[in-house]
Structures are given as structure tokens and as C-alpha cells.
Amino acid sequence: MTSPAHRLAADSVSLGYGERVIVDELSLDIAPGVVTTVIGPNGCGKSTLLKSLGRLLRPREGQVVLDGKAISSMKTKDVARVIGMLPQTPVAPEGLTVADLVARGRHPHQSWLRQWSADDETEVAAALAQTGIADLAERTLDELSGGQRQRAWISMALAQGTDILLLDEPTTYLDLAHSLEVLDLVDRLHAEFGRTVVMVLHDLNLAIRYSDELVVMSAGRIVARGKPADVVTAELLAEVFGLDATVLTDPVSGRPMIVPIGTRHVHGADGYDE
């Protein structure tokens, strides 16, 4: 990506469904060119926030701002060329092939006359290759394993060629090995192509490992943000997640590593004294 990095921000947004308010007057500047992960306990509003950034949810108050302009006032096609998103549970019609799914990512770049240009083909081929699913191009989605299917959806988001990529729980349904595969891919996206990635992750240790920046949410508000090493402490885990845990240094990455204590299977009072 040679274009200057786009900047995405939430400007005191209030979000909710129906009568229920989930996020109240939240502001967040997304750091360009890095991986930001939003973490927080169930129901804290992290997915809701991500949806509003990807304009899947219209804020009741405040606005989501892209390069200084409210996205609600921008042409939806223009936004789609800058912000891509993988929703949590995407759906596809029965019998759709991987190639055709990934090609749909080119929609914002196409027109009625220009339905499948050479550029489209190059971008889709690159997206297939990056996610390692080129050999599955002819297969239909229903024939794939959960991990392959998730990579196909990510591939579609890549084909959209956006500077900013929002991923809502990209590792759901995946085992640990496949989760790492997907997150390594996300990592490369930002390392090699300078893309801005915002994700929501459940797994705290994976979030710490793969994020440049963590945003910790609780009850609809941001309670901490910064580099994982600065943010993740035993006190924060106790306060935000109600989790009794010890924070160690990950021998592989040198980043923090959370070891939950729980109530049984503990050697001593501080959890790790062998």
C-alpha cells in the first residue's frame, strides 16, 4: 500500500440495539498501520464498537470519523474502498465457490461494465495466495473445514483491498493451530503491507501476542489502552474480567502471559510456585 494511511476514529459514540444502550459516549483513535485488539469481558460492547467502526451499526449519538469526515455522510462505496470488515458470522449462498466468494470482495471497485477487470483478477489471486487457499479456489464453501472457510472469508476481505481491516473474532470456531495461522496472516498484513487492523479477540494470550496496541473495555467504556506490556497486569484482570490470574513473561515473545488461577488445581496461594 503506497497511499497514505487512513485514520479511523470514534468520536463520542453511543451505541446500542433497540432501547438498550451498550456503549456510552466512547471516543477512540485507531493508530494507523498497526494491529489494535479490543478485549473485554462478554457483553462489554467490544463487538458493538467494531460494528460501528465498520458502519454495520449506526451510532445513536456521536459519529465514526474517517480522515476527518463522518462516515455516515460519505458515499458508502467510497467507505468500502477504505474500510473492510469480516463480520462475526458471515453467510453465503449454498454452492458458492471460494473463488467467487473472494471475488465478491472486489464489489466496491467494480461497475456494471467493469465486472471482472485484470486488476480484479490480480487482487483476488493475491488474496487467495496470501491466505494459502489457492488450491481450494474451485471448491464450494460448504466443502471446507472451519479453518479453511474462515481463511476464505478473510481472503474476501483482503481482496477488497482496503487500508483498514476490521476483524470480529477471526479465530472463532478455530482450534489453536488454525487460530495461530489466521493471526500470523493478520500479522503479515500489517507488517508487509502496512495495513491498519482492528480486531476483537476472546483469547487474551493471543491478543497480547499479536497486538501492537490493546484496548480494554468494560461495561461500554474504555478502561485501559496501550502496549500489551503496559496494559496487562494482574490488577487489571481482576478488576475488568473478575479473573484471578498471575501475569508472567512469555518465554517465546517476552510479552506478558496470563496464567489463570481458578479455584482448584493450584499448587500454592500465588498459583505458580513449583
Partner 1 sequence: MSTLETDKPTDAGAALRKVRPALRIGPVSLVWRPVLFGAVLALAALVFALFCLDIAVGETHIPLRRVLDVLGGGGTRSQRFIIIESRLPRALTAVVVGAALGLSGALMQSILHNPLAGPDVLGITTGASVGAVAVLVGSGGATTGLIATLGAPLAALTGGLLTAVVIYLLAWGRGRAGERGVTGFRLVLIGIGVNAVLLSVISWLLTRASLTDAARAQLWLTGSLNAADMARVAPAVVALALVTVVALVSARTLAALRLGEESTRVLGVRIQAQQALLIGAAVVAASVATAAVGPVGFVALAAPQIARMALRTPGEPLLASALTGAGLVAAADIISRTLLPVELPVGIVTAALGGPFLLYLLVRMNRKATLS
> Which residues sit opposite 215 in a β-bridge?
38, 225
User: Which of 129, 259 has the CB closer to partner 1?
Assistant: 129
Question: Smallest distance, Å, CB 56 to partner 1?
Answer: 5
User: Which of 45, 84 has the CB closer to partner 1?
Assistant: 84
**Computed from CA positions of residues 158, 159, 160, 161, in that sequence, does the dihedral angle turn out positive or negative?**
positive
**All residues at 6 or more sequence positions from 200 whose CB lies less than 8 Å from its CB, including other chains:** 37, 38, 39, 46, 47, 50, 167, 168, 169
Q: How many CB atoms lie within 10 A of CB 227?
A: 14
User: Which of 155, 179 has the CB closer to partner 1?
Assistant: 155
Question: Smallest distance, Å, CB 142 to partner 1?
Answer: 9
**Computed from CA positions of residues 78, 79, 81, 87, in that sequence, does the dihedral angle turn out positive or negative?**
negative
User: Which of 137, 207 has the CB closer to partner 1?
Assistant: 137
Do the strands 20-29 and 8-17 form a parallel or antiparallel pair, or are they unpaired? antiparallel
User: Which of 117, 246 has the CB closer to partner 1?
Assistant: 117
Binding site for partner 1 (CB under 8 A): 1, 17-18, 51, 54-60, 76-81, 83-85, 87, 90-97, 99-100, 103-105, 107-108, 110, 112-118, 120-126, 128-130, 132, 134-135, 137-138, 140, 157, 160-161, 192-193
Question: Smallest distance, Å, CB 165 to partner 1?
Answer: 11
Question: Smallest distance, Å, CB 58 to partner 1?
Answer: 4
Question: Smallest distance, Å, CB 243 to partner 1?
Answer: 31
Is residue 138 within 8 Å of residue 117, measured between CB atoms? no
